[in-house]
Amino acid sequence: MEMIDYAKQAISHFKIPQDYSSCTPYGNGHINATFCITYPNEKYIMQAINQNAFKHPEQVISNIARVTEFLRAKREDPRSVMKLIETTDGEKLYRDDDNHFWRVYSFVENSLCLDLPESTEDFRQCAIAFGCFQHDLSTFPAEELFETIPDFHNTPKRYEAFLAALEADAFGRAAEVEKEIKFVKDRVDFYSTLFDAHEKGELPLRVTHNDTKSNNVLLDASTRKALCVIDLDTIMPGFSVNDFGDSIRSGANTAAEDERDLSKVHFNLELFKAYADGFLQGCEGGLTSSEIMLLPEGAKMMTIECGMRFLTDYLSGDTYFRTSRPGQNLDRCRTQFKLVEEMEAAWDDMKESVKKYL
Ligand code: ADP
Ligand code: GN1
Ligand code: MG
């Protein structure tokens, strides 16, 4: 049976009307199976949680339920917070007979989801959304959250996983990616930078989103202002600078994440600056001076880590990130490394640009 058939069967287990017009695959996420259920006057998002990535779906949904309730109490606009729909049994997850875990969200209507921001102002609005998210969760009790993917942004451990995949070379692909392997190995001293800062007391653990790419935030389609942060599966304790950085690697790129023509891929310093401005505005002064000074490190860390993860997945036979063509993870890896190179070239400007917020 295809996932779409499972999805259609799952609909009857949620408190939503049964006379839907269509149920179709939706969006460009790399992890979950996402479907849009449409009716003449409303829509819902239905997702099967990816259990290769998330070993404990009930912990994922527990985090999301707690965080969305907490945020709802702080926000006036109901469209600004994701809303889970209950199952007919009053639960938040439905487990089907073949062990898929399904959840349903209200569709955030009249919104824009951009794989790549279309203007500097779009990107600033994404930054405001994630900055406000950081700020609004600053008083959330972090100890109540499950770690849904252990060591998710532990870059030194990601490096270890990369070395293990390289050693195994299970698909005989290492020989064709020598340049990329060298790129990762050459930067080994950088990977512990944020953990070292944390050890020294310079980088606090906070409640963070951990997957802040541009298509995980919605803008209002009428005003193009920040509307709603989505994809809440990875909310866990983490570093604010990584939330900043993951947005930079995805949105301050002049081309698509999987662009094959690397001459089109550039790190846009103006977008970096605009995002820093919007993010810090959203955080409302909540970040410490050392966090502000480490924003460039967050950008470079998330970019190289993501590239390393794509390369690891390529070496391991493309089992983690969804792909739609052969070689896509390698193309994704190469765009990230091109961005890292350009960040390194722009490093002094990046560091200088955040000083004015101290
Ligand atoms: P993945 O973990 O696979 O990235 P997401 O939760 O990000 O899954 O969902 C995939 C896509 O579905 C998003 O990028 C967005 O386009 C769309 N989406 C998800 N939830 C909603 C929602 N509540 N309203 C509107 N669009 C949504
Ligand atoms: C995945 O789920 P999605 O597509 O929003 C991944 C992120 C990567 C991103 C790269 C849970 O994000 O960590 O940065 O792909 N999410 C997970 O595009 O691994
Ligand atoms: Mg997503």
Mean pLDDT by 10 residues, the chain (358 residues): 96 97 97 97 97 98 97 95 98 98 97 97 98 97 94 98 98 98 98 98 97 97 97 97 98 98 98 98 96 98 98 98 98 98 98 97
Angstrom distances, CA of residue 183 to CA of 1, 114, 168, 307: 42, 30, 19, 10
- Residue to mutate, 45, 83, 210, ligand 1, most ligand atoms under 8 Å from C-beta: 45
pLDDT at res. 265: 98
Distances (CA, A) of 167 to 161, 170, 171, 182, 305: 10, 8, 11, 14, 18
Calculate Rg over the CA atoms of the chain.
20
Question: Taking the C-alpha atoms of 157, 161, 164 and 168 in order, what is their torsion angle to the nearest 10 degrees?
Answer: 180
Could you identify the atom of ligand 2 that is nearest to the CA of residue 149?
Answer: 11
Q: Could you tell me the CA-to-CA distances from 273 to 115, 123, 125, 251, 252 in Å, in that order? A: 19, 10, 13, 12, 10
Nearest atom in ligand 2 to 302's CA? 14
pLDDT at 186: 98
Q: How many Cα neighbours within 13 Å face the side chain of 209?
A: 27
32 CB within 6 A, ligand 1? yes
CA of 29 to the centre of ligand 3 (A): 4
Q: Which of 332, 193, 337, 349 is nearest to 271 (CA)?
A: 349
The answer to whether residues 96 and 102 touch, using CB atoms and an 8 Å cutoff, is yes
Mutate to test the pocket of ligand 1, among 230, 234, 235, 320 (most ligand atoms within 8 A of CB): 230
Kindly provide the residue ranges of all beta strands, DSSP E only, lying in 52-93, ordered along the sequence: 84-85
Q: Which amino acid is at 245?
A: G
Helices assigned H by DSSP within 103-230: 120-136, 155-168, 178-186, 193-199
Q: Is the dihedral of CA 229, 232, 235, 241 positive or negative?
A: negative
Ligand 3 midpoint to CA 215 (Å): 6
Tell how far the Cα of 31 is from the centroid of ligand 2, in angstroms: 7
Per-residue DSSP letter, 59? H
Percent helix, percent strand, percent coil in the chain, to nearest 5:
50, 15, 40
Alpha carbon of 246 to ligand 2 centroid (Å): 10
pLDDT reported for residue 150: 97
Whether residue 302 has its Cβ less than 6 Å from ligand 1: no
Q: Whose CA is nearest to atom 10 of ligand 1?
A: 29
231 lines ligand 2 (CB under 6 A): yes
> 115 near 219, Cβ under 8 Å?
no
> In angstroms, what is the span from residue 29 Cα to ligand 1's centroid?
7
C-beta 231 within 6 A of ligand 1: yes
Task: Determine phi and psi for 195, rounding to 5 degrees.
Answer: -65, -35
Q: Closest Cα partner for 191 from 71, 69, 349, 302? A: 302
| C-beta of 303 in contact with ligand 2 (< 6 A) | no
Task: Give the H/E segment covering residue 45.
Answer: strand 43-48
Which residues are registered as beta bridge partners of 112? Answer: 219
229 ligand 1 Cβ < 6 A: no
Report the sign of the C-alpha dihedral through residues 248, 251, 255, 256, in that order.
Answer: positive
- Give the closest residue (by CA) to ligand 1 atom 6: 231
